[in-house]
Amino acid sequence: MSQQVFIGNTSDFPLGQAKGASANAVSVLVVHLKNGYCAIANKCPHLGLPLAGGKLAGNVISCPWHNSTFDVCTGRNLDWVSGIAGVKMPGWVRNIVALGKQPHGVTTYPVTEKEGKLYLHPGD
């Protein structure tokens, strides 16, 4: 792995929650799961709006703006623009709100834990 950036102590990232952090001007969401830590870009690929504040259910986060969902460990898109601010939309409206953008995932970043400290690898 290349460069690592300290993003906080493990105690700063409660189990089952997504918390924002910054590494070399890269805004990320770090999620503490039972099997470790995952980090994704704090930027939905639909319109570039922040994912912070989205609902986290296990390892899936939903965009608080247009309800797209992503796996926080793989970055994979699971559902694309399914609503607005938590309210579901019918398929024809989803196509309009998607603005012609095709579904794609969110950037992920490796996280390592060492002696109670978390490090992000923003260049990997």
Q: For 22-55, write each residue's pLDDT tens digit.
A: 888 889 999 999 999 999 999 999 889 999 999 9
Task: Count the neighbouring beta carbons within 10 Å of the beta carbon of residue 5.
Answer: 17
Give the CATH number of domain 5-120; options: 3.20.20.140, 2.102.10.10, 3.30.930.10, 2.60.120.620.
Answer: 2.102.10.10
- 14 vs 95: CA distance, rounded Å: 36
- Look up tokens 């699971």; give the residue: 78
Q: Which residues of 60-85 are buried (b: 16+ CB within 10 A; e: fewer)?
A: bbbbbbbbbbbbbbebebeebbbbee
Helix, strand, coil percent values for the chain (each to nearest 5): 10, 40, 50
pTM of the model: 0.85
- The confidence band for 74, taking pLDDT boundaries of 50, 70 and 90, is very high
Residues 17, 21, 23, CA angle at the centre, nearest 5°?
A: 145
Domain edges within the chain: 5-120
